[in-house]
Structure 1
Amino acid sequence: MGSCENQEFECKKQKPLLIEGPIIVGAGPSGLAVAACLKNNGVPSVILERNDCLASLWQQRAYDRLKLHLPKQFCELPLFGFPENFPKYPTKHQFISYVESYANHFSIKPIFNQVVEKAEFFQSIGLWRVKTQDFEYFSRWLIVATGENAEPMRPEIAGIEKFDGTVVHTSRYKSGSDFGNQRVLVVGCGNSGMEVSLDLCRHNASPYMVVRNTVHVLPREVFGFSTFGIAMALLKWVPLRLVDKFLLLAANFTLGNTDRLGLKRPKTGPIELKNATGKTPVLDVGALSQIRSGKIKVMNGVREITKSGAKFIDGQEKEFDSIILATGYKSNVPVWLKGSDFFTEDGLPKTPFPNSWKGEKGLYTVGFTRRGLLGTASDSLKIARDIADQWRTIKDTKNICNSQIALQM
């Protein structure tokens, strides 16, 4: 078997490759972050990426007007910050350039177009085997970095196959310019649903946003300060429930009563709900004002899609030209990771944060904390330290063995 450290090699199909360091599955921000932290600790790694680029979710599946919802200091990857000239909330293209600069800075070269078909631990040899369409890779360590948002979530909606117009998931939505002057049904009211609806308004479309459940809407900033930043600062000194009360008071003061707009709040506070379920509060960037003006219309749940529109659970029926599914993403880990009970059926670690980063037999996860890039940075540093300790032990053992052999010759 031969070692393999980057994509600049050629091998015969299905040739087994023994990787000296960890195998990382996924070349998004999580995979790059853990690779950089490993390199900083003197440990090489190999990243396998199914697409042909870094951060494919951002490059191929993000809409044009997307910006970071949090200030850049909360979204930095470990060991390498954003450029100082970047705005407080970097754009999609600025974030992509940052990710590419990050990879260049640490000389990280993923192996692209490698779809992991199966990964499993072989007890007899103490190694993980990761099989792609081209090769079989073996390593002591496997790092799952595909994240919580690997595949679009497409809910079953009665009658949607009958609809004559365009149906598109937000993963394929780029701009409202494609929907100018159309009546558009937006299914979902999270950050994506709100921003897509706002984008549609700015291109003279008429969005109807479906709100199926309760939702927390918070101001992105309070008196010029990041709401998230204030919450993080308070959590160091104040109990979580008091911080939630502060956030709701600030929201009511700046945004008013969202219940009157058809956006009913959950009984559980925004941070407590996020920690328990992963459901992120919406940070308003202008959609609420369009809802108040009537340009974005809030609708109850869909009962059935018809040939020309939709019937709603409150009895209304309306015609639409297009439907946009702002229904989020899901993990794909159960599809390819076999023989491990570390993940749930939904593809998330069973062990809650902050201990979700490490499994058994050399299995690690990064990007599954439900805490965004802050969680990614934290887990990457932990994983790198843990593997580096093992790496040094293995190296020391090899050096001792080599020295003993040399003395006997």
Structure 2
Amino acid sequence: MTSYADVVVVGGGQAGLAAGYHLRHLGIECVILDAQAAPGGAWQHTWDSLHLFSPAAYSSLPGRLMPPQPGETYPDAGHVVAYLSDYEQRYELDVRRPVRVQGVHRDGQLLRVATDSGAWRARAAISATGTWWRPFLPAVPGREVFRGRQLHTVEYRSPYDFAGQQVVVVGGGNSGAQIAADLAHHTDLTWVTQREPRFLADDIDGRALFDAATARRRALDAGTGDTGGVASLGDIVAVPPVRAARDAGLLKASPMFARLTPDGVEWADGTRAEADAIIWCTGFRPALSHLAPLGLRGPRGHIPTHGTRAAEEPRLHLLGYGDWTGPASATLIGVGRPARDASREIAQLLGVVR
């Protein structure tokens, strides 16, 4: 069975909902196809102690402020899931789930979106699948011989799963620091980073990061030079649990090891550390396999874009994958503006006048 919509949005997380909001505001018919069984996107799969970097009011999608969470300055992931669920109901967004998109194809003047429950034909499409579903694991020698447990950020839930164990956490970004802080009081922890951890000033949270990312994008667009953006401030937001573990001397990083051994890790000088488990907090790649039939991939797996629009396919927009699809577009507060811009471009493409 084949259905029709003016616009098909692939992904029902924060980016997909922001796109749906703006398209609906412009009077454009759209359907949002979400592979998840319930609302909330990736937020429903995070570790138990995860909190936002910013207060609720600064972590909102367009049109609807996130309400504060009682007793919490920085809302937890469960609060975000509840907010996203309420958001799609409040704006009566047409979210179909669970629907897994298998491929987006050119079909004459239209795009054909093939799914596990039939196909959709549309005049335009927005890909908003994010990165959570494509975790990255580095090619470190010995990974296949290690006898302990190996898992990625996406599989970590609670420090109690590792109580009393020797655990190596790999990664010097926010996920690595937060999970290391989570484990510090319950395990024999070794935290490993590629370079010395760079903590942002304690008074910096997601609001400042969004402003920095936006200023960098404006400077690059104006040709006035690269301000460095978020990277110029540091790598790790000192949220309260990270700050507490750092100040207690529990977040002391070791340099990256050279290889894994059957019982742990080994550095280039021969120093070893035993480990029951290794948690790879080593980032993600864009989840773009559904766009493979369009043949748009460029260097490093990215699809070249003008703003959010695919450079070689004007009917396709990409939203929420990081700065290359809009400043801070992988964040709740940052995705609204590129979602608005993408929706306006699609309105022009479709000849919709408001």
Q: Tell me the TM-score normalized by structure 2.
A: 0.85
Answering whether residue 2 of structure 2 is matched by residue 16 of structure 1, we say yes
| Shift in Å, 1:289 | 5.4
Answering whether residue 112 of structure 2 is matched by residue 95 of structure 1, we say no
What does residue 229 of structure 1 align with?
208
Contact 1:116 1:336 in 2 (8 A): no
| Shift in Å, 1:389 | 4.1
| Shift in Å, 1:213 | 3.2
Name the Cα RMSD after superposition: 3.0
**What is the SS of the residue equivalent to 2:200?**
strand
CA distance, structure 2, for counterparts of residue 132 and residue 235 of structure 1 = 35
| Shift in Å, 1:336 | 3.6
| Shift in Å, 1:290 | 3.5
Pairing of 1:166-185 with structure 2 (within 5 A): 166-185=149-168
Answering whether residue 30 of structure 2 is matched by residue 75 of structure 1, we say no
Contact 2:170 2:192 in 1 (8 A): yes
Q: Which runs of 5+ in 1 are unaligned?
A: 1-14, 241-267, 397-409
CA distance, structure 1, for counterparts of residue 335 and residue 237 of structure 2 = 21
Task: Name the CA shift for 1:189/1:272 in 2 (closer, same or farther; >3 Å).
Answer: closer
| Shift in Å, 1:350 | 2.4
| Shift in Å, 1:357 | 4.3
Residue identity opposite 1:373 in structure 2: L
What does residue 216 of structure 1 align with?
198
| Shift in Å, 1:51 | 2.2
Give CA-to-partner distance per residue, 1:200-258, whole Å, 9 cap, x none: 123x2121111113553203416xxx47439839987xx98xxxxxxxxxxxxxxxxxx
Identical amino acids, percent of aligned pairs: 25
| Shift in Å, 1:376 | 1.1
Task: Name the CA shift for 1:374/1:48 in 2 (closer, same or farther; >3 Å).
Answer: same
| Shift in Å, 1:272 | 6.0
| Shift in Å, 1:189 | 1.5
Task: Name the CA shift for 1:270/1:312 in 2 (closer, same or farther; >3 Å).
Answer: farther
Task: Name the CA shift for 1:64/1:351 in 2 (closer, same or farther; >3 Å).
Answer: same
| Shift in Å, 1:183 | 1.0
Larger radius of gyration: 1
CA distance, structure 2, for counterparts of residue 234 and residue 321 of structure 1 = 39
Answering whether residue 321 of structure 2 is matched by residue 373 of structure 1, we say no
Contact 2:57 2:67 in 1 (8 A): no
| Shift in Å, 1:88 | 3.5
Answering whether residue 354 of structure 2 is matched by residue 385 of structure 1, we say no
Contact 1:216 1:270 in 2 (8 A): no
**What is the SS of the residue equivalent to 1:151?**
coil
| Shift in Å, 1:141 | 0.4
Task: Name the CA shift for 1:331/1:230 in 2 (closer, same or farther; >3 Å).
Answer: closer
CA distance, structure 2, for counterparts of residue 159 and residue 39 of structure 1 = 51
Residue identity opposite 2:292 in structure 1: L
- Which one has the bigger helix percentage? 1
Question: How many equivalent pairs are there?
Answer: 337
Pairing of 1:115-264 with structure 2 (within 5 A): 115-122=100-107, 125-202=108-185, 204-213=186-195, 215-221=197-203, 226=205, 228-229=207-208, 232=211
Task: Name the CA shift for 1:393/1:200 in 2 (closer, same or farther; >3 Å).
Answer: closer
What does residue 55 of structure 1 align with?
40
**What is the SS of the residue equivalent to 2:9?**
strand
Q: Which runs of 5+ in 2 are unaligned?
A: 220-225
| Shift in Å, 1:309 | 0.8
Contact 2:15 2:320 in 1 (8 A): yes
**What is the SS of the residue equivalent to 1:302?**
coil
| Shift in Å, 1:295 | 3.2
